[in-house]
Amino acid sequence: MRILLIGNPGSFFKESKRKLSLSFDVDAYCVDRERRLSILSDFSNNQGFWDFEKYIAIVYISGETRNKEFMGLLNFELPSILADISCQNNMGFVYLSSLAVFAGCVEDLITVKSEFKPIDDYGKTKALFDHHISKLEKIYPGSRVKTIFPASFYSKSGRSSIEKFGFYKQKFSKIFNIVSLQGCLSYVDRDDVIDKIVVSLKREDYRAEIMAKHYELKDENSKFTFPKPPLLLFKIIGKVFPRISVKMRMLLRGVYYK
């Protein structure tokens, strides 16, 4: 069984290829900077060098989080072409969306049924593709599309939200020894996401899933626990300062994903 893996260069792409190769024959296409300008034509149906009939599925783990110029290309345009090809050829399609598509949804519990309310360009381009998938599933009943909504990858390099919180908690230890927050931070292990992709393909499990673990901020050793503000407060703040509202809600109240 052969699959086509498409992703950005880096350790996640390399490890995905390695683990998938243990169970499948893998053709890997790396979306490097040089290929970005020609990538749409590379995967157009008009290009004869792609024999899509030999694949049982396409796994799309590419995307762009920072460069606005390429967000539309890698988060919406390219995966739309690939998803169309997959559905037309009765292939499986597995891709990574993002919890960013739910960022503006002011609820305590977010599920795959929650409304998409992105607040930034990254989330909006991801949500555009998620809507495209919904349309495809109506056009092609029985299509096999797996949407995974992962939280931010946990990193020990100091870049993850948990590591940053730990840094500030240590820096302002005198304050945190007195006051504890009741929020939580969501994260996911990179390897867990890769394993989920492999298992989903092997079991042909194409149900949409959220992948998130929760790091509770409440410290029982603190003298005082900051009370949880009402959701209404964050809805009001979010109308003017959506990003600030999201961060405050995570820290002071918590956003849980299931």
Distance, CA of 94 to chain centre: 12
**How many structural domains is the chain composed of?**
2
Contacts of residue 240, Cβ cutoff 8 Å, sequence gap at least 6: none
Residue 49 has a pLDDT of 54
Q: Which residue type occupies 163?
A: E
| Pair 116, 79 in one domain | yes
| Pair 167, 50 in one domain | no
What CATH number has the domain bearing residue 59?
3.40.50.720
| Pair 117, 206 in one domain | yes
| Pair 240, 201 in one domain | no
Residue 45 has a pLDDT of 56
| Pair 111, 197 in one domain | yes
| Pair 14, 140 in one domain | yes
Report the relative pairing of strands 213-216 and 184-187 from DSSP bridges.
Answer: antiparallel
| Pair 227, 171 in one domain | yes
| Pair 226, 143 in one domain | no
Torsion region of 63: left, alpha or beta (phi above 0 gives left; psi -120 to 50 gives alpha): left
| Pair 138, 91 in one domain | yes
Which is more confident, 39 or 112? 112
Q: What is the pLDDT of residues 123-154, one digit of tens each?
A: 999 999 999 999 999 999 999 999 999 999 87
Query: What pTM does this model have?
Result: 0.91
Structure tokens at 10: 């880096």
Q: How far is CA 116 from CA 35, 95, 169, 192, in A?
A: 31, 17, 32, 24
Separation CA 118–CA 105 (nearest Å):
8
| Pair 142, 50 in one domain | yes
pLDDT-derived band at 157, boundaries 50, 70, 90: low
Q: What is the pLDDT of residues 218-241, one digit of tens each?
A: 998 899 999 999 999 999 999 999
Q: What is the pLDDT of residues 193-216, one digit of tens each?
A: 999 999 999 999 999 999 999 999
| Domain span at 173 | 161-185+216-257
| Pair 125, 205 in one domain | yes
Which residue spans within the chain are E strands per DSSP?
A: 2-7, 25-30, 57-60, 92-96, 109-110, 144-150, 179-180, 184-187, 209-211, 213-216, 224-225, 256-257
| Pair 178, 197 in one domain | no
Count, residues in the chain: 258
The answer on pLDDT for 217 being more than 60 is yes
